[in-house]
Amino acid sequence: MIDLHCHIIPMVDDGAQSAEVACRMALHAVRSGVDTIVATPHANLDPDQPNLRGHRYDEFFSLFRALLRQHGIPLRLLPGTELFAHPNNLDRLLRDRRVVTLNHSRYLLTEFRFHSRGSEITAALDRIARYGYVPVVAHPERYTAVQNDARLAAQWFAKGYILQLNKGSLLGRLGAAAERSSHELLSLGLAHVIASDAHDTQYRPTGFVSLLPFLERRCAPEYIELLLETNPQHIIADEPIPVPDTYSDRRW
Ligand SMILES: [Fe+2]
């Protein structure tokens, strides 16, 4: 399985706070059947600070990849970031291509303020698409606008934007509203990917051990495979995600 969203690189954001924690996160993921993690530290949370594009990113990424090898942890680590879409510098970053996409593909993982208006999020996603990227909406179920009206997520889905649900939301660890919304999106077929968005080994851990039985009770095996394997694989291979005509009509 592939985990597309994970704050595993140590000491670059609010994720892994030491190399030891990061290695434990990696081991836990591997033991749960995850063979690939895209490392997605926050980028651009503060638009006045330089973001993680370039030299500094490559350095942190390579150091951690070397550490995994040194410890013999059989995990494929791929580059990425979770870009915070600030309206005042988003255009500049996209124009200058100063963003680290998921494994340098066309897919850009993007997050927003939880209370952003739906129209603001849509405008930013459209802007990202105009620059030739495919936006991957990080945890749509955590935004109030989607919690209040799932049709917003349906509009993004129809435009070909990718919806990435958080494991923690589905399992009820990120509040009741996110839990309800994630269940709704999942049952409507409005999800392309589920990822860990892991930050540590305890509260927001890596791995899909508790997620799998949850999904098996609710979803067809083909849907589970799409969410954890097939769609993430298309993304890291920079391939389009095929959408069957009947996708949203199917009962999962
Ligand atoms: Fe995240």
Domain boundaries, the chain: 2-236
Q: Cα of 129 to ligand 1 centre, how many Å?
A: 21
For 2-236, the fitting CATH number among 3.20.20.140, 3.30.70.330, 1.10.10.60, 3.40.30.10 is: 3.20.20.140
Q: Cα of 197 to ligand 1 centre, how many Å?
A: 5
Q: Cα of 77 to ligand 1 centre, how many Å?
A: 16
Q: Cα of 74 to ligand 1 centre, how many Å?
A: 23
Contact present, 192 and 162 (Cβ < 8 Å): yes
Output the pTM of the full model: 0.94
Q: Cα of 246 to ligand 1 centre, how many Å?
A: 31
Q: Cα of 251 to ligand 1 centre, how many Å?
A: 29
Q: Cα of 7 to ligand 1 centre, how many Å?
A: 6
Q: Cα of 159 to ligand 1 centre, how many Å?
A: 23
Q: Cα of 245 to ligand 1 centre, how many Å?
A: 31
From CA 116, how far away is CA 100, in angstroms rounded? Answer: 23
From CA 155, how far away is CA 206, in angstroms rounded? Answer: 30
Phi, psi (rounded to 5 degrees) for 174: -125, 30
In tens digits, the chain (252 residues) has pLDDT values of 999 999 999 998 889 999 999 999 999 999 999 999 999 999 887 766 645 556 678 899 999 999 999 999 999 999 999 999 988 889 999 999 889 999 999 999 999 999 999 999 999 999 999 999 999 999 999 999 999 999 999 999 999 999 999 999 999 999 999 999 999 999 999 999 999 999 999 999 999 999 999 999 999 999 999 999 999 999 999 999 987 654 554 444
Q: Cα of 199 to ligand 1 centre, how many Å?
A: 8
From CA 195, how far away is CA 138, in angstroms rounded? Answer: 9
